[in-house]
Amino acid sequence: MRQTILAAAAVLTLATTTAHADQARDFDPIPEPQQQVVESHDKSPELAVGMSIGITIGGYVMMAKSSNGGMSALGFGAAFLGPSVGQWYAGKTGGIGIGARAIGMTMMVYGLVQLLSSSQDCFDCGSSPSTVSDDRRAKVYLGTGAALWVGSTIFDFVMAYRETETYNRRQHAQLVPTLIPTYNGTQAPGMAFSTRF
């Protein structure tokens, strides 16, 4: 009788332990965190480049076709600032291109003034060595300024595309709380980072 009671108690203990083990395995004490999906709106790199190119070309057309001084000034402003519009669209200032165009414009104006003044000063004096030297220096300023202007314009077109892509990647970067499996089979709280390339 005593052995029957001990055997029954052992079977009952084993059944209870197994049931508790199954329940413990099925029970997750830390609920899975809910990820909040934030809707982001991508900006178009093609639109950024298109705006930069379109406004720049529009500025040159306004300067070429306008007989009005105000419209020519507006056209010059569009040609000067237009290449950076795509970067503004991406949330950047485009300061490098604007600064380079300002330096290039200053060099071109200085070279043109030097070229015109040297040709007016020596209209009848032939080609003296100082006149040739001044002309060369003026042409170097003109050429360097023009190259800086064109180069900074192309640079801004390229950067408009890149900065818009960078903006889109930043919008898709997420840092969310999550549960990380550990070596002993449990889960520990942690953070997960995701982005798009």
What is the per-residue pLDDT across 68-78, written as a single tens digit (0 to 9) for each? 888 999 999 99
CA 170 to CA 40: how far, in whole Å? 10
Q: What is the pLDDT of residue 151?
A: 97
Q: What is the pLDDT of residue 84?
A: 96
Q: What is the pLDDT of residue 183?
A: 77
DSSP string covering 32-54: PPPPP-----PPPHHHHHHHHHH
Determine the residue type at 65: K
Q: What is the pLDDT of residue 135?
A: 84
Q: What is the pLDDT of residue 57?
A: 97
Q: What is the pLDDT of residue 179?
A: 74
Q: Cα dist. 181→3, 51, 174, 194 in Å?
A: 45, 49, 20, 18
End-to-end Cα, the chain, rounded Å: 74
Determine the residue type at 168: N
Q: What is the pLDDT of residue 190?
A: 72
Token pair 């055997």: residue: 7
Q: Which stretches in the chain have pLDDT values below 70? A: 1-40, 119-131, 173-176, 191-197
